[in-house]
Structure 1
Amino acid sequence: MTSFFLSKNLFVDSNIFFKLDKKNNTLCFISSFGKVEFCMYDTSCFVIKEGQKLSFFYIFSEYEKRIKKRLILSKKKKLGSLIVFFKQLLFRLSQPNFCSITLIGMGYRSQVENGNNTLSLHLGFSHRIDLQRPNNVRFFVRKIQRHHEIFFYCSTLCESKNLGSTIIRFRPVSPYTGKGLVWTGAPILRKEGKGQFKR
């Protein structure tokens, strides 16, 4: 019995390393900005690796081609959506998404230690705070005028934002003194103290 198939090709940049695990039907993409693993839960979709090209296939029998036209149409749409998803994923892996935090306050500083694997924070406490670097995140510290800034680079903006939000919780900016951790460029809403109110 003859077979009919739908296919789409995806070309991967040479700066991105990827591997195909046919046993678990998973794809792994690795770049200098992060690592992403994707599991193909749809077992009817076959993936073939040829150099820097990935080919996705849906195979149908001649009977399904004549009878199940709606099924073939839905698989064709799903295949197109899958290719668009992987193109967006590879674009994010090739260009880093980053965010930055500014440390405002006397003695507030940060530094990178242990070969860019540990972020040390001095936030006015009696102890310092050490954070281990996640596998898919890179950060570095830069001093601008009197303030320190921490930059987070990651394959997805969501992960870098999550790490930045975790750090901000250690010392949120105070509305009275204006000191603390804040997103770079974000406005600081100040409040008047009790001593400044007129009687």
Structure 2
Amino acid sequence: MDSLPVHFFHAIFGYVPGGVTISNELQINGQIRDREVRLIGVHGEQLGIMSAREAQKLADEAKLDLVKVAPQAKPPVCKIIDYGKYRYEMARKAKEAKRKQKQIELKEIRMSPNIDSNDLMTKTKAARKFLEKGNKVKITLRFRGREMAHVSASRHILEEFAESLEDIASVDKAPKMEGRSMSLVLAVKKN
């Protein structure tokens, strides 16, 4: 590892020389330019306040990295850890947290103002399936040509659509004109 050039690590970990890091990366080893740091040892023990050079020496003796974990503290807090392992653990925790999150998607159903009642029932069934999965549904009426003259008369289609799903859904956003289309957003009712 000692034989690899410094710019190799900069390319992999996203560092810029001079202690500046790209994005929210932590400063490690030679990037720490503070005069004094509060040092936490390998096993989590407080080693006290010391110069950054002394802290780096202790990290080198342990054959680990000196990582600034709390840059806003006075003095900044540094920890002696294996940085590669630390990054791996943080990435794994972030991935796990993301997996546990429920992503609510916005599904769209498009219709024309002169839709037949059977087609409307089919669209209602599709919307019901989306809502049962926990997604929001945007119902859009698209107006073409002369249909634009009867926009206000077509509002009832969206209102009937919302009424047919009122047992599981509530209106999140009321019917609204957006260019040549009128849309309504339905969300799952919260019990």
TM-score over 0.5 (shorter chain): no
Give 1 or 2 for the bigger CA radius of gyration: 2
Relative contact order, higher structure (CA 8 A, sep 6+): 1
- The TM tier, using the shorter chain, reads under 0.3
